[in-house]
Structure 1
Amino acid sequence: MRMVSIASGSSGNCIYIGSDKTHILVDAGISNKRIQQGLNDIGLKGGDVDGILITHEHSDHIKGLGVLARKYQVPIYATRETLDEIRSKSSLGDYDRELLHPVCPDVDFVVGDLTVKPFSIDHDAANPVAYRVQCGERSVAVATDMGHYDQYIIDHLRDLDALLLESNHDVRMLESGPYPYYLKRRILGDHGHLSNENAGRLLNCILHDRMKKILLGHLSKENNYAELAYETVRLEIDEGDCPYGAADFSITVAGRDQMSEIVNL
């Protein structure tokens, strides 16, 4: 099983997860050209993709969806409410609506030899979810666009081998930055985005001996930067209640314009 971030940031998101037999994308919020290049870089092509899991309908998660659907007839999975929003997006162009498959939070479904569990997150979208994907004994998850976390989120992120977790903003940068007040309130609210500090605090609740890789993702272009996210998350782990230190784990930041390393499990 392997996972790689093709792009992760406030301007576009697309994460590959796959096995030897099955290849899926979580979100398609970048251009088809960039998605193709990312797949090529790991020895795949668009026609190899067996499914696209959509977390929610915001453009930085679905921008390239229409082209992929038209070119490759790839099945698209999302909650029913998210699919209703996707159907209404004229910017995606024409594609076969039969490719849209509704899923329900906390109900597993299967794509090839991958078992997928969607779970609910709090974000200002129709019915957003994060995804946990399992193949054999290995499990990974992509969890972004969360205004906050609670015990339900913690329970769904336990016992992972690898995780891409939102570390969207630095609170002080956001509060003193150029965004209008209403947007700052939205991002900081319970249906907004996870801060660097809260990403580190969440990790304190789920770290364990078998965790091989943590990718910090969905960084804001205006209210964060990679070094700050990395150091803040590490500090929260080191000062937290868990028995581990940040140095016990491989933590890197997923870039918005370049691929992450390939996480092989």
Structure 2
Amino acid sequence: MRRIRTIVSGSSGNATLVEVDGRFVVIDVGCTLRALRAGLRDLGADLDDIAAILLTHEHYDHVKGLGPILRAARAEVYASEGTLASLDKTDKLPSEVRYRLLRAGHELDLPAADLGVLPFAVSHDAAEPLGFVFSHGEHRLGYMTDTGQVEADARRNLAGCGRVILESNYDPQMLRDGPYPYLLKMRIQGRQGHLSNFAAAELAHFLIEQGVEQITLAHLSRENNSPAQARRTFLQYLDNRSVDWSVEDNLTIAPRLQASATLVW
């Protein structure tokens, strides 16, 4: 059984469960220990079923639950050298936990989860941020949030997946008209910021043409986006290009503050 579920997804927190036959990988820990336990419990699992924790990068909304979760779960942590070094400077790494390095472009096996993982570089203002492609047999799952632009490697790696979780962070007009300071607006829409709804739809169009069957839009901003706006932009983009792909059947949007439905990958 291959399942995926977001626990939280957005500018205030991010955590995702990837399952293969009762063993779990957690992508990011930007949630409370209680929320993680609840998400696992709904799937008939507990903290002992976590095989590994993978970190995309060190920003607070992706690691704020790191200490409590690691002390309770005792799982190995996988992250880039830059991410681990940045966290170490802020004393956020419990010394009793085992850490393993991820390198973009270097695939490795997670035997405890019966998964392969291929990290790839993304463009974000963090120390060494990553996206991931997970593999189990012939099945592949892509995960990419927190990137201001789509690098060639990311595009190529995601194209081979059956399901992709993809950032769709902001609507440009809502960002321009919103309350954020000018410099923050520039950061968000910069090359090392976040993907707009339009950019996400553009990438999704390419991925659909390459055979990607199901897409989840994730990491939506509370202030500068809405599920309805992200969906509307996505649908308009595909309609304008006469793309034969059922948005109703194949597109989902990750909730910001609660767990998503459980999806099969």
TM-score by length of 2: 0.94
* 2:202 counterpart residue number: 201
* 2:42 counterpart residue number: 41
| Unmatched runs of 5 consecutive residues or more in structure 1 | none
Q: Percent identity?
A: 34
- Whether contact under 8 Å (1:234, 1:246) holds in the other structure is no
Asked if 1:71 corresponds to 2:107, the answer is: no
The 1:244/1:40 distance shift into structure 2, 3 A limit, reads same
* 2:253 counterpart residue number: 253
SS class of match (2:215): strand
| Unmatched runs of 5 consecutive residues or more in structure 2 | none
* 1:222 counterpart residue number: 223
Q: CA deviation at 1:208?
A: 4.8
Q: CA deviation at 1:246?
A: 4.6
- Whether contact under 8 Å (1:139, 1:162) holds in the other structure is yes
SS class of match (2:5): strand
The 10-residue stretch of structure 1 (211-220 or 167-176) with the greater mean CA deviation from structure 2: 211-220
Matches within 5 A, 1:6-85: 6-85=7-86
The 1:248/1:11 distance shift into structure 2, 3 A limit, reads closer
The 1:189/1:97 distance shift into structure 2, 3 A limit, reads farther
* 1:183 counterpart residue number: 184
* 1:106 counterpart residue number: 105
Equivalent pairs, count: 262
SS class of match (1:179): coil
Cα root mean square deviation, aligned: 1.7
Deviation per CA, 1:207-232: give whole Å up to 9, x if none.
Answer: 15854421110000100011101111
SS class of match (2:62): helix
Q: CA deviation at 1:239?
A: 2.0
Deviation per CA, 1:9-34: give whole Å up to 9, x if none.
Answer: 11000011110153101100111111
The 10-residue stretch of structure 1 (146-155 or 203-212) with the greater mean CA deviation from structure 2: 203-212
Deviation per CA, 1:106-149: give whole Å up to 9, x if none.
Answer: 10111121000000000000000001101111111110001011
Matches within 5 A, 1:137-152: 137-152=138-153
TM-score by length of 1: 0.94
